[in-house]
A = this chain, B = another copy of it.
Amino acid sequence: MENYQSALDTAFHALADPTRRAMIARLIEGPASVKELAEPFEMGLPSLLKHVKVLEASGLINSEKTGRVRTCRLVPTQLAAAEDWLNEQRAIWEARTDRLAAFAENQHASETNNDVE
């Protein structure tokens, strides 16, 4: 449970930055070298590598170096953990609003019946 919480901490932290979200969106299209990941951003390599490290530490991506090229890949299971948490909250919220709506409808129906009687 503690591991699950800490995985969510690092995943949400990694997602709390527009550059890192753009890098995730790029890697969803397929693996990319650090150079390819850097292309859309006006950013020095050291800053970019910091973002790569945050993403790797969160488990959202992994990377492998072959010769001089480091290739990054998405790890979809970790992204799914963050999504699952949010989906779960929405399901609970919807169930609650459904219950409230049903309660309001019953109240209305019973008031209407009382009016008729």
Contacts and interface: CB of A to CB of B under 8 A. Distances in A.
A37 B83 CA distance: 24
Given A8-B16, A10-B16, 12 more contacts: A5-B18, A9-B16, A12-B15, A16-B16, A21-B85, A24-B89, A25-B89, A28-B89, A28-B92, A80-B90, A82-B86, A83-B86
Interface residues of A, number: 31
Contacts of A40: none
Contacts of A96: 28-30
What's the dominant secondary structure at chain A's contact region?
helix
Contacts of A29: 92, 96
B21 A8 contact: yes
